[in-house]
A and B are shown apart, each in its own frame.
Chain A
Amino acid sequence: DGGITQSPKYLFRKEGQNVTLSCEQNLNHDAMYWYRQDPGQGLRLIYYSQIVNDFQKGDIAEGYSVSREKKESFPLTVTSAQKNPTAFYLCASTTGAYSGNTIYFGEGSWLTVV
């Protein structure tokens, strides 16, 4: 089935540790996004990528990094510089640049600092 796969579903990070969240899509979508969701705050954009080997910072990029080496993959690294990383992380994708294109989401990943 086509879709967006995020892994792992649950991840625990120790203080000072970098962790990477995986996002893979087999929808042949050009654009991919990472969002952070905190209770009562809706979705906040971390990074987005319109094409391979190109990405832009979103509203809350500090403490995060991404890469886009393949069209189908857009991993997110939460670095030790991110002081409050505990949240639900959502990956999304869409095809083309048309504003009416639907953005589809993965099932999300929970990151908890221990």
Chain B
Amino acid sequence: AQSVAQPEDQVNVAEGNPLTVKCTYSVSGNPYLFWYVQYPNRGLQFLLKYITGDNLVKGSYGFEAEFNKSQTSFHLKKPSALVSDSALYFCAVRDEGSYIPTFGRGTSLIVHP
């Protein structure tokens, strides 16, 4: 069975400060991990994914995520937040061989000017 948890419903950060949105997962085999962003009234946009290899994955809009196998985490990070980063962020996981991803409940990121 696969599962994913986003422990924070909301994250608040000041513009220019670094941001972190947390995600932990559970799988039976090798994990395939994804981050998406959703702006109001829009679909989900793909940001980045981890399949294998380097634990630090770089994605769109300056976002990156760090895969940590021992802590079963895949936290999303950005060195300097922008007000325009304010949105809903979803983490997703697919177990090896799984056709269906499991999404977290989402974390609302609010970047204050």
Please list the residues of chain A having a beta carbon within 8 angstroms of any beta carbon in chain B.
4, 6, 31, 33, 40-43, 45, 48, 50, 58, 90, 92, 97, 99-100, 102-108, 110
Which residues does chain A contribute within 8 Å of B8, judged by CB atoms? Answer: none
User: Out of A92, A100, A104, which one reaches B51, CB within 8 Å?
Assistant: A100
- Interface pair B90/A99, CB less than 8 Å apart: no
User: Out of A40, A97, A102, A104, which one reaches B99, CB within 8 Å?
Assistant: A97
Q: Output the nearest chain A residue to B92 by Cβ-Cβ distance.
A: A103
9 A–B contacts from the bound complex (CB under 8 Å): A6-B43, A40-B9, A42-B104, A43-B44, A97-B99, A99-B95, A99-B98, A100-B32, A102-B34
State whether A90 and B99 are in contact (beta carbons under 8 Å apart), knowing that A100-B49, A100-B51 are contacts in the complex: no
Q: How many residues of B contact A (CB 8 A)?
A: 26
Q: How far is the CB of A37 from chain B (nearest CB, A)?
A: 9
- Interface pair B43/A105, CB less than 8 Å apart: yes
- Interface pair A42/B90, CB less than 8 Å apart: yes
A90, B106: Cα distance in complex, Å: 15
User: Out of B44, B95, B106, which one reaches A105, CB within 8 Å?
Assistant: B44
Q: How far is the CB of A35 from chain B (nearest CB, A)?
A: 8
- Interface pair B100/A108, CB less than 8 Å apart: no
Mark interface residues in B47-58 (1 if CB within 8 Å of A CB, else 0): 001010000000
- Interface pair A104/B100, CB less than 8 Å apart: no
Residue B22 interfacial (CB < 8 Å):
no
Residue of B44, B90, B98 with most partner-chain A CB within 10 A? B44
